[in-house]
Structure 1
Amino acid sequence: MEANARWVALTAVAPVAWGANYFVTHEFLPAGHPLYGAALRALPAGLVLLAFCRQRPRGAWWGRSAVLGLLNVSVFFVLVFAASQLLPTSVASTVMAVSPLVMMLAARFLVSERPGAAHLGGAVIGLGGVCLMLLGGTGGISVPGVLASAAAVLVSSFGHILAKRWNTGAAGAGVLASTAWQLTAGGLLLLPVAVAVEGAPPAVSPSAFLAFCYVGLVATALAFAAWFAGLARLPAGTVGLIGLLNPVTGVLLGTAVAGEVLTGRQLCGLALVLAGVALGRPRGRAGVPGPIGARGHPASQAGWGVRSRWR
């Protein structure tokens, strides 16, 4: 149970960082450049992780990295960037919280993981909380922004579970390596499209540069490595419910920093979301649901402790 708690805490780094990312993107990054915004988020983060793990794709992982980069990075980042610009922080982050149920459905078909009653109950309670927070928001709601958030949920849920499936067994590449490859591939796919569609890159002010540093290093490199490490060790239902900390962070940050009003309805919603997260906590031995890494060792599976060498 103590090991499970450590993996839950590590995984929680991702949704907290992503919840703050909505505010940073909305307030500090140049508006009207979703392709450049996504490329400048993904490519530096991928290169940092690539320099750290020092592994190149091998065999099927060249194609897998491209597919995962397209789903989890290229398409997902553009949708999230657009939603962050079109919606208030609280609304953008709460729409994304429908992902637990979508992830459970994807896990059922892609990795044969059946969600337990606690996971389903937590998802229903969490969704109830999300509805309360969304309906209780005072900011304007953009239909294109909501649609962008919903599409991001579908794309990322499928891509995340696909990454879990492909990292199973002897063919698994390790979390740090596979995360580095898909971020780098996604950034490289985005860059020429950004040049063709948006022309010259936007001017970056000092505050925007610092924001890009947070978005790339914390909300992308660190967050994605933590998220995929948790997904490798914990059931998809548990990880999806931990993701509900995303809207909690977004709403609280919007209230504390952006001056958005937190209503009584949203407070009730926050309580329900936290109850849903608690219901999904793992109760078994750590590592049972997760795949075995390329070398058959849990550390290898998660990508920690892999020797730094190019191969």
Structure 2
Amino acid sequence: MPASPATVSARQTFLLGLSIAIAGAILFSAKAIVAKLIYRYQVDAVTLITFRMLFSLPFFAGLALWHALRSPALANPDRVRIVVMGLLGYYLSSFLDFLGLQYISAGLERLILFLTPSFVLLISVFVLKKRITAAEWAALVTAYLGTVLVFFHDARAGGSNVLLGGAFVLGSAISYAIYLVLSGELVARVGALRLVAYAMCVSSAACVLQFFLLRPTALLLEQPAAVYGLSVVNAVFCTVLPVLMTMVAVARIGPGTTSQAGMIGPVSTLFLGAAILDEPITGIQLAGTALVLAGIYLLSRKR
């Protein structure tokens, strides 16, 4: 029997949503590649993240204003929570991530960040006192083994730099996991897109303030043209667009499937790093990536 028009339409909607989710995950993961390219121009992490937030701020500020005019006013406790979450989730997490990228490969950075769901689970266990099953423990161990495998492989070539960079990115993943745990209740009241817009505005303000406290203003005006161009790419294609695409995908295929589509991130970063940055791909890296993806996939299925 041929499929009904309704079935065909639903299938097309799902495939379109899945394609948007995959494209968004690849674009978001590509920020590591763009950051590595910017570092070639002797730009430090403070300046890099400032340019990223400055160029993405107009979009998020406009979105925040639109929501502020259309939505009920926030209670003061929620405003405080949003400030804290903006500082944790998009300022501290991003800053630590870009610091780490100065010392480790883009592929390893993405693998470490991909452990964020496991940190959310561990925080839920040890802080919120939720129970965790044997299958979930097995998934965690599988994912961590994959990261450790790649980490020690890279450490043999990079030495202490890999340890330092890995520690920064690990801090980034933990910071973002805390943000996700804190956002759970608030998303229901505020809305996901409104929360992201407000939090990004807070993060942008923190990044700009940090820059003016630590760096001379002239640095904003004295960069090579390539730095400005790559920073616009970082802001528009690796920050703003992935946020929008993820929201569209969630609306079409749901958060669970969107999250699983995000598993393409570490794989895409590994191959983009090889193609653009000449980072080697070895059998150990592929094995470690497979273990991480398997572990996170098991967690997502359980979820």
Match of 2:171, as an amino acid? A
Q: In structure 1, what is the equivalent of residue 210 of structure 2? A: 193
Q: In structure 2, what is the equivalent of residue 250 of structure 1? A: 269
Call closer, same or farther: CA 1:281–1:147 in 2, change over 3 Å. Answer: closer
Paired residues, what number? Answer: 279
CA distance in 1, matches of 2:86, 2:54: 11
Q: In structure 1, what is the equivalent of residue 232 of structure 2? A: 213
* 1:29-60 Cα shifts (integer Å, max 9, x gaps): 55453223223222432430342461126224
Call closer, same or farther: CA 1:277–1:92 in 2, change over 3 Å. Answer: closer
Call closer, same or farther: CA 1:139–1:10 in 2, change over 3 Å. Answer: farther
Call closer, same or farther: CA 1:63–1:225 in 2, change over 3 Å. Answer: farther
Match of 2:103 among 68, 86, 91: 86
Does the CA contact (< 8 Å) of 1:4 and 1:282 recur in 2? no
Measured after TM superposition, the shift of residue 25 of structure 1 is: 0.3
Q: In structure 2, what is the equivalent of residue 55 of structure 1? A: 67
Call closer, same or farther: CA 1:214–1:85 in 2, change over 3 Å. Answer: same
TM-score under structure 1 length normalisation: 0.74
Call closer, same or farther: CA 1:156–1:219 in 2, change over 3 Å. Answer: same
Match of 2:50, as an amino acid? A
Does the CA contact (< 8 Å) of 1:101 and 1:120 recur in 2? no
Q: In structure 2, what is the equivalent of residue 33 of structure 1? A: 44
Q: In structure 2, what is the equivalent of residue 21 of structure 1? A: 31
Mark the structure with the bigger radius of gyration. Answer: 2
CA distance in 2, matches of 1:5, 1:184: 33
Measured after TM superposition, the shift of residue 156 of structure 1 is: 0.8
* 1:48-105 Cα shifts (integer Å, max 9, x gaps): 0342461126224432221111001221121111111222222322332332320212
Counterparts of 1:1-311 in structure 2, within 5 Å, are 12-13=22-23, 15-29=25-39, 30-52=41-63, 54-56=66-68, 58-60=74-76, 61-108=78-125, 119-137=136-154, 139-141=157-159, 142=161, 143-168=163-188, 171=189, 173-200=190-217, 201-202=219-220, 203-225=222-244, 234=255, 239=259, 245-282=264-301
CA distance in 1, matches of 2:268, 2:45: 23
Measured after TM superposition, the shift of residue 19 of structure 1 is: 2.7
Call closer, same or farther: CA 1:31–1:175 in 2, change over 3 Å. Answer: farther
Does the CA contact (< 8 Å) of 2:38 and 2:48 recur in 1? no
Match of 1:151, as an amino acid? G
TM-score under structure 2 length normalisation: 0.76
Higher helix share: 2
Match of 1:214, as an amino acid? V
Call closer, same or farther: CA 1:158–1:31 in 2, change over 3 Å. Answer: farther
CA distance in 2, matches of 1:261, 1:84: 16
What stretches of structure 2 of length at least 5 have no aligned partner? 1-9
Does the CA contact (< 8 Å) of 1:19 and 1:93 recur in 2? yes
**Per the alignment, in what secondary structure is the counterpart of residue 101 of structure 2?**
helix
Call closer, same or farther: CA 1:123–1:230 in 2, change over 3 Å. Answer: farther
What stretches of structure 1 of length at least 5 have no aligned partner? 284-288, 290-311
CA distance in 2, matches of 1:113, 1:229: 31
Does the CA contact (< 8 Å) of 1:110 and 1:162 recur in 2? no
Call closer, same or farther: CA 1:185–1:94 in 2, change over 3 Å. Answer: same
**Per the alignment, in what secondary structure is the counterpart of residue 114 of structure 2?**
helix
Measured after TM superposition, the shift of residue 125 of structure 1 is: 2.4
Does the CA contact (< 8 Å) of 2:113 and 2:172 recur in 1? yes
CA distance in 1, matches of 2:183, 2:63: 20
Does the CA contact (< 8 Å) of 1:26 and 1:84 recur in 2? yes
Does the CA contact (< 8 Å) of 1:14 and 1:226 recur in 2? yes
CA distance in 1, matches of 2:153, 2:89: 30
* 1:1-51 Cα shifts (integer Å, max 9, x gaps): 979988776555554334321121011255453223223222432430342
